[in-house]
Structure 1
Amino acid sequence: MRRWLLAALLLPGVAGAAAPDGRQIVLHGNGSGALPCAACHGVDGGGKAAMGAPALAGLPALQIENDLAAFAKGKGGNAIMQSIAKSLTPAQAQAVAAYFSSLKPT
Structure 2
Amino acid sequence: MSGSDSNQNAAASSNIRQPRQRMAQNYLLIWVDASIDEADEDCHNTLAQLKNVINDVNLCTESDQCIEALNKVDKEHVFVITSGSLGQHLVPKTHGISQLDAIYIFCGNKSSHDG
- Higher gyration radius (CA): 2
Higher RCO (C-alpha 8 Å, min separation 6):
1
TM-score when normalising by structure 2: 0.27
Name the structure with the higher helix share: 1
What is the TM-score with the length of structure 1 in the denominator?
0.28
Which is richer in strand?
A: 2
